[in-house]
Amino acid sequence: MVMSSYSGSGGGLMEEVLIISGLVGVQLTLAFYTVFLHRILDLGVDSLFLVIAGNLATAFLLLPFALVFEKKKWPRRLSPVLMIQMLSIAIGGVTGYQVLMLTGIKMTSPAIASAMPNLAPGIIFIIAACLGFEKFSVWCKYSRTKVLGTIVCLGGTIAMSFLMSPTDAPKLTTTTLQGSFILTAPGGVTISKEWILGCLYLLCAVFFLSCTTVLQAAAMLNFPAPFSLCVVTSLIGSATTALLKFTMEGKIDAGSSNFNITTIIFIVVLGGVMTSIISTFITWCVNKKGPVTVSIFSPIQTVCSAILSAVILRQIISLGCLVGMMLIFAGLYTILWAKKKEGIDDQQNIENNATKLVHDVEKPLLT
């Protein structure tokens, strides 16, 4: 019995270490990949082509997992509601989110692009509360705390957008500020119009991400197969992005880049493999520890991206940018704390009600 207990606790400890070290590794990998993408886009690789090819690679790499682990969960027929949900997730979460995100990365910096997704929990809370998926009451302290955290996150985003611009980092890209307009803010701070537009693209991308996250939660009720859902939406998203590119440009190519086609294929496959592995690991972690625990580690990517931007891209990290980053982190952890405490209180209420029900059933009818 002692040996069995010891073995069980040892297995639990190893699982904890694996989850924590894995989530840290995921965020560091994403930070390096974001900086890498910024450089690739700056050298001329077309963002729409990356979305098309990257999602095709992701779909084919995840397809074996879907067939092995989820085939029994597939519905016998697709309802119109589920088809609309899948199409919406593909258009919003693949075409909309990824195209806007890549465009924003190219026009701003990896640090800004890594910080913006930290807004998602707050925006998801607002959308879910409006649709009735999330409990909200002005009298509930946790609801008020989540609203406060969302406001703090937005404040940090605005601070990062306006207090950090390409004028702080003249070596940020090879195109620097050619052809862009410079705005002068109060206090003599110069801000690139292209930079602000890039921040707006990133903000819109996070909004698309938040909407599709809520849609995914609804779709999973009728289609509880995350790998299969990812395969289907990736294929649809790749097709819609290809249609968009062909409509806009009349052709589908990799853009005018300094890379040959072999190098571009390697980049796409590398991105697909990385996305597939990370998606699989994150899904496992969410099942084991829940989404709140996974979200706690997301600021690591932002910090690492900022450091890499300073070292590799020679971008100066201003004090205002650091203040904005800290505000985003503070708002994120405020929201996550409120969600965690709310979940604990709900669980305690359920247990108390169950105990009271058992007590009432066991009470003699005649006393």
Query: How confident is the model over 38-62, as pLDDT tens digits?
Result: 888 888 888 899 899 989 998 998 8
- Smallest Cα–Cα separation from 59: which of 208, 229, 212? 229
The residues spanned by each domain of the chain are 25-350
**Cα distance between residue 240 and residue 52, in whole Å:** 9
Work out whether strand 182-185 and strand 189-192 pair parallel, antiparallel, or are unpaired.
Answer: antiparallel
- Smallest Cα–Cα separation from 55: which of 97, 24, 25, 85? 97
Query: How confident is the model over 183-192, as pLDDT tens digits?
Result: 444 444 555 7
- Smallest Cα–Cα separation from 25: which of 362, 313, 304? 304
> Taking a C-beta distance cutoff of 8 angstroms, is the pair 234, 98 a contact?
no
- Smallest Cα–Cα separation from 104: which of 4, 200, 210, 221? 200
**Cα distance between residue 205 and residue 191, in whole Å:** 21
Give the E-state strand segments of the chain in sequence order.
182-185, 189-192
pLDDT at residue 64 in the model: 92
Q: Global pTM? A: 0.78
> Taking a C-beta distance cutoff of 8 angstroms, is the pair 336, 120 a contact?
no
- Using 50 as the pLDDT threshold, list the residues of the chain that sit under it: 1-7, 167-188, 361, 365-367
**Cα distance between residue 254 and residue 271, in whole Å:** 15
* Amino acid at site 356: K
Q: Which residues, other chains included, contact 249 with Cβ-Cβ below 8 Å and sequence gap of 6+?
A: none
pLDDT at residue 163 in the model: 67
